[in-house]
Amino acid sequence: MPPQLKTLIPLFAIFITLFLVARYFLVPVSFGDQGHYRFYSVEENKEKVMQYAGKDACTECHDDKAEELSSGMHANLSCESCHGAGMIHYENPETTNIVKPDERVFCGLCHSFNPTRKDKIAQINLDEHNIDNKCIECHNPHNPWE
């Protein structure tokens, strides 16, 4: 047997042993039971509390805003994209956990100039465009080109 193999075989055996020990501790118990995923994660996700109500839930009470939004540039966005998770508000309309974004930075998350962005989102330079005003002073977010 070549002398290189006398060194490599024990190293290879140690590597395989370490790999199997690490795999034993890192791979969840239910992984692979019903497919190539962690089976118990389905139950864990079912137990999570819902946070988002969805656009239809918002429309139930705010049909005027939904109609205004339906013809605007933001028609394909969910209300909760800008106003945050609304399940608590949907279940109890007295709550005031709904975000009312009025800062330039918020609109800039999507609309600030980015030369790599190839989509049809209107882009502006926040440092130059109407810097003394909030976006909503000139633009209606539910129908920006109105």
Count of domains observed in the chain: 2
Do 24 and 18 form a contact (C-beta atoms < 8 A)?
A: no
Asked if residue 8 belongs to a domain, the reply is no
Cα 146 from Cα 142, distance rounded (Å): 9
Whole-model pTM over 0.75: no
The pLDDT tens digits for 7-35 are 899 999 999 999 999 999 999 888 888 88
Average pLDDT, the chain: 85
**Nearest Cα to Cα of residue 78 among 62, 58, 100:** 58
Q: Same domain for 118 and 130?
A: yes
> Per the domain annotation, does 92 fall within a domain?
yes
Residue 6 has pLDDT above 70, yes or no: yes
What's the whole-number mean pLDDT along residues 49-73?
85
3-state secondary structure the chain: CCHHHHHHHHHHHHHHHHHHHHHHHHCCCCECCCCCCECCHHHHHHCCCCCCCCHHHHHHHCHHHHHHHHCCCCCCCCHHHHHCCCHHHHHCCCCCCCCCCCCHHHHHHHHECCCCCCCCCCCECCCCCCCCCCHHHCCCCCCCCC
Same domain, 54 and 96: yes
Given pLDDT bands bounded at 50, 70 and 90, which one contains residue 71? confident
Is 111 among the domain residues?
yes
Query: Residues 60, 95: one domain?
Result: yes
Q: Which of 2-16, 48-62, 83-97, 101-115 has the lowest mean pLDDT?
A: 101-115
Confidence (pLDDT) at 135: 85
Q: Is residue 24 part of a domain?
A: no
Query: What tokens appear for 60 in the block?
Result: 């139930």
Residue 15 lies inside a defined structural domain of this protein: no
- Position with higher pLDDT, 18 vs 67: 18
38-47, 86-95, 117-126: least confidently modelled range:
117-126
Q: Is the pLDDT of residue 146 over 80?
A: no
- Residues for the chain: how many in total? 146
Instruction: Please tell me the predicted confidence (pLDDT) of residue 132.
Output: 84
Structural domain of 79 = 49-100
